[in-house]
């Protein structure tokens, strides 16, 4: 996000780089029919309400919250991995103190949620949820296990590639966004198409 000052308020802009992202509305990806905006976006000025709070205290994050392999009595089943990166703003500057929350399926591709009835076993040592803060350089890190792909019934033999979803909450109520880290298909994975 970048911004310009208008009448004493910071007016943000959200440049969308050309050729980097897929179109918001993509007929073959049927979910976009309900998600994609049908009208141009309206950019609102940032007033006091938007630039103050929510403020998350570091005490809200526990010692094992960013290590999903140490949250239970034993280690979860699966390939242990470290997911790390940096939180940057639209100009490439580090954004510290951003709360990052992640959630994922277990190594068999099942979420710990009553709606998920995919018949792979639940792992008693995998809750699939974690949180941490970005440091002064915008860096963050999670230790976890690689999630499995799972069927999502979009079409015949449709499998959603293994992925970890994250939500980032910054200093400002308007600086919330979510992202998804998708793992490339491997030789042992089922056919993927999304
Ligand atoms: Fe998912």
Q: DSSP of 103-151, one letter per residue? A: EE--TTS--SSTT---SSPPPTT---EEEEE--TTSEEEEEEEPPPPEE
Q: Supply 12's token pair.
A: 């943000």
Judgement on whether residues 131 and 145 belong to the same structural domain of the protein: yes
Q: Supply 142's token pair.
A: 């999670």
Name the domain count of the chain. Answer: 2
Q: What's the CA gap between 192 and 147, in Å, rounded?
A: 15
Q: What is the pLDDT of residue 163?
A: 97
Q: What is the pLDDT of residue 6?
A: 47
Question: Ligand 1 centre and the CA of 104: distance in Å?
Answer: 6
Q: What is the pLDDT of residue 53?
A: 63
Question: Ligand 1 centre and the CA of 106: distance in Å?
Answer: 10
Judgement on whether residues 75 and 85 belong to the same structural domain of the protein: yes
Judgement on whether residues 44 and 69 belong to the same structural domain of the protein: no
Q: What is the pLDDT of residue 92?
A: 86
Judgement on whether residues 165 and 76 belong to the same structural domain of the protein: yes
The domain that holds 105 is classified in CATH as 2.60.130.10
Q: What is the pLDDT of residue 12?
A: 59
Judgement on whether residues 43 and 60 belong to the same structural domain of the protein: no
Host domain of residue 152: 54-194
Q: What's the CA gap between 104 and 189, in Å, rounded?
A: 17
Question: Is 0.85 topped by the overall pTM?
Answer: no
Question: Ligand 1 centre and the CA of 11: distance in Å?
Answer: 34
Judgement on whether residues 41 and 70 belong to the same structural domain of the protein: no
- Those residues of the chain that have pLDDT short of 50 are 1-2, 6, 189-194
Q: What is the pLDDT of residue 10?
A: 57
């Amino acid at each position: 996000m970048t911004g310009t000052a208008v009448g004493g308020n910071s007016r943000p802009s959200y440049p969308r780089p050309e050729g980097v992202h897929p179109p918001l509305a993509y007929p073959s990806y049927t979910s976009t029919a309900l998600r994609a905006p049908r009208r141009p976006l309206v950019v609102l000025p940032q007033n006091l309400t938007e630039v103050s709070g929510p403020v998350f205290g570091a005490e809200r994050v526990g010692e094992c919250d960013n290590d999903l392999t140490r949250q239970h009595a034993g280690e979860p089943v699966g390939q242990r991995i470290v997911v790390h990166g940096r939180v940057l703003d639209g100009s490439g500057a580090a954004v510290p103190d951003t709360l990052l929350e992640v959630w994922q399926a277990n190594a068999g591709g099942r979420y710990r949620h009553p709606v998920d009835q995919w018949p792979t076993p639940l792992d008693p040592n995998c809750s699939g949820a974690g949180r941490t803060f970005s440091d002064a350089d915008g860096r963050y890190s999670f230790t976890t296990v690689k999630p499995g792909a799972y069927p999502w019934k979009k079409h015949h033999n449709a499998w959603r590639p293994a992925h970890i979803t994250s939500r980032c909450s910054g200093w400002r109520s308007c600086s919330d966004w979510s992202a998804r880290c998708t793992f490339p298909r491997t030789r042992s994975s089922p056919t993927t198409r999304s």
